[in-house]
Amino acid sequence: MRCLVINLDRSPGRLAHMTTEFARIQVKFERVSAVDGMKRPEIAAMSRILSPTEIACFLSHKACWHIIAEGDEAYGAVFEDDTVFTPKAGPLLADVGWIPADASIIKLETVFKKAVIAMMPSHVGFSFSVARLYGLHLGAGAYIISRKAARDLLQATGDFNIPVDHVLFDPTLATSSSETIYQILPAACAQGLFLKDKSIELASQIEQDRSPYQMKRNLLKKRRKTPLTTVKTEARRVGLQIANICRLRLEKTIPFHHHGARVRRGMMVMEYPHHPAPPNANTNLDVPSNR
């Protein structure tokens, strides 16, 4: 299975970080040159909703989908360049025999927020299990996608009005609800954004460059916070919990373990020694940005 890492040309520190991470788990990877929103101001015209940075991020993921859709392998893995792996992630990424036959997308990471998954996960080996993912679990930092799903998403995403992680993991959208999505348990990785990893040179530009889409969502949430809406929200939450139990579903925070410790968001700062790149690692797979 090809492991594709999205990396900006102006972010060599992040590439060095990913080289270290993949060497640590002894897996090869290929670098995909990310679309740079700062160097392509014309992409701002592609959407009145998303920011140029979010459009560039979306285009970069689509470049990876093109590679997977046009390749010979049934599955490919996509990573953003601030990923931190659990030590046991290597065997998982080196083998595809464990992937459920009906899987379209498998989310490898956690964002340390509750997600709705199947109550009874299936053990797949390497100390991991998989469970169907039914609820919202955003973030597009690490996922496996089938060749068919990559082709489906390329056909379904001609417009850029929704962030790429919503397209992938928001079940209220047809692009996500039409696919069979799984969550790996525990998470095989997490983004440095959540771990406050000092080994990564840049904070998330997407977090710094909030789009009108996300700002509107946040504004609506703030407007709804009245005593009455709080009561309604709590009643809805309890109702959903009961419904999930009846449907054999569970709401939980996806765990992530690193160096034998359970990581909670923002609680661990990690620094790693340098490791050489895996043998024959292709760290410069440039993809034309007009694909």
User: What is the enclosing helix (H) or strand (E) of 123?
Assistant: strand 122-125
d(CA 6, CA 35): 9
Residue 157 lies in a domain: yes
Residue 117 lies in a domain: yes
Residue 219 lies in a domain: no
Residue 91 lies in a domain: yes
Helix, strand, coil shares of the chain, percent, nearest 5, are 35, 25, 40
Q: What is the pLDDT of residues 73-105, one digit of tens each?
A: 999 999 999 999 999 999 999 999 999 999 999
Residue 236 lies in a domain: no
Q: Find all residues with CB under 8 Å of 166, minimum gap 6, and list them.
A: 138, 173, 176
CA distances from 7 to 13, 135, 258, 283 (A): 10, 29, 24, 10
Q: How many residues are recorded in the chain?
A: 291
Question: Does residue 276 surpass a pLDDT of 90?
Answer: no
- Output the six-digit token pair for 259: 């160096």
Identify each DSSP E strand in 202-278 by its residue range: 249-253, 257-258, 261-262
For residue 267, what pLDDT band results from cuts at 50, 70 and 90?
Answer: very low
Query: DSSP secondary-structure letter at 43?
Result: G
- Residue 281: strand, helix, or coil: coil
Q: What is the pLDDT of residues 14-57, one digit of tens each?
A: 999 999 999 999 999 999 999 998 889 899 889 888 888 899 99
Residue 225 lies in a domain: no
Residue 41 belongs to what domain range? 2-214+249-285
Rounded to an integer, the average pLDDT of 249-273 is 66
- CATH number assigned to the domain comprising residue 190: 3.90.550
Domain count, the chain: 1
Q: Is the pTM of this model over 0.95?
A: no
CA distances from 251 to 83, 118, 237, 244, 263 (A): 24, 9, 11, 8, 18
Residue 244 lies in a domain: no
Residue 75's nearest CA partner among 178, 151, 133 is 151
Residue 173 lies in a domain: yes
Mean pLDDT of the chain: 82
Rounded to an integer, the average pLDDT of 239-255 is 74
